Structure 1
Amino acid sequence: MTSNDPILETDLNAYVDDQLAVGRRIEVEAYLSERPEVAAQIMKDLRVRDELRLALADHRTVTRQETREAARLLERALSHRRVFSVFRRAAAIALFIAAGWVAHAALGPFGATQVVASTPPPAFVEEAVRAHRTTLLRDSMTSQPEIETFDPAEIRSATAIVLPDLPKGWTVIDTQVFPSAYGPSVELVLEPAKGERLSLFAVRPGSFAVQHVLLFHADNARAAYWQIGDAAYALVSESRKADDLADTARDLSRTLY
């Protein structure tokens, strides 16, 4: 059950601080899903908060007490979520200071720093690649007819997934609905140009986020993926270059706002 109380700045502050009850969190997330600009700001604050907490929780390295206290002060300041960017800049400065002292303690004043590997992609990206390969298999089988009928309104009604607007000249070759952990997912097989195949995969991944377009490589397939609110998307190709695929994904993502 939800209330009719308006979402206030204090609710957004409490959301960032993990201080809301489950029901109120759902109301805040519904509010954010309809306001991408506010949601993007909240995600920035959550990222800075988590970076600060990670820096404070890492006991494997030795950090000066003054730096740890400064980070704690910044985290408390961030909990009040000012609308100006000064706190984000201050948080970034604190992290740079902490990283400098860690490197100094571990490697000395002239040591080289360790490169941190990127995090693995969300599970839905691997689902998108598998769906793409399944589609290629279906395409080679005469007994598996393609379903070219494409009705975005019907898909939205049945799956609660909003699909991006396709560029003029693109053709929908096949439309499929796949099962996933948090409900049905949708895959469109697209033909931007004669003989070219792209797969657009859309799913509700079970979490709320605002994620700009990132790239993932899996053998000979590439995926450009992003998330807006509670829906996530992946554009998969085996022929397009990575930069071109990412640019196309960004163009598609803009139609969702």
Structure 2
Amino acid sequence: MPLIDESDLHAYADGQLDPSRRAEVEAYLAAHPEAAGWVGDWRRQADELHAAFDGVLNEAVPLRALPPRLQGRAAAPAARAAGWRMALAASLASLVAGGAAGWLARGQAGDLAVLTPPAERFARDALASHVVYAPEVRHPVEVAASDEAHLVAWLSKRLGAPLRVPDLRAEGFHLIGGRLGVAEGGPSAMLMYEADNGSRISLQLRHMAPGTADAAFRLERLPGTGDSHGTAAFYWVDRDLGFALAGPLERGALLALAQAVYRQYQDD
């Protein structure tokens, strides 16, 4: 049987193989039910992403709803709207590809599964949430910062752990609010911050499985999405809590913010 590797399986899942190669992959999948299950999972994941986000990708950007400081940067509305949709599409596509790549190890047989660590999967979920919600003009959050007490009580209850809202004003970002999210089938908390220039970052937290080992800062990155840095997230695990700080910042600036969050949680 011809050698079938990870790239062939991804191309098959995406419908990108020529007929002869597709027949070879189908024969391989018939002999390797586990690999066939992975391909089915990737297709379902792609279908779910399309169902969830195609409406967003086709949505017109309501420029008249933008604050004056953002309208000044919208000199070419059609181009900016198209660029945002392309950026979101690229980001979501890269998450699917990146998540799927972590499930397979390259090898001669091409049939060894490697599970992506839970903290890394959480970081990818956090990046997906950030690229969806950060561009929102009217509804980036569910509860505004003006109702912080309710925000903290609500998210702490859903998270199953006390939530602390880090103060990042010294680093140039103020809280605008938060929302409930989902990671690994359970609840996560998202806190959204904004700088004076309109740049947004999000801090997302989830309760990890009991006994999850602490993990130092690690970087998960999306490809460039229309800016010079792309969107990235520093993530770590501390005392059964997973943290992911995401935003379109250069590595050093994002790390400094992550360290500020870490220090404030160590003060508990």
TM class by shorter-chain length?
0.3 to 0.5
Rg larger in 1 or in 2?
Answer: 1
**What TM-score does the superposition give when structure 2 sets the normalisation length?**
0.45
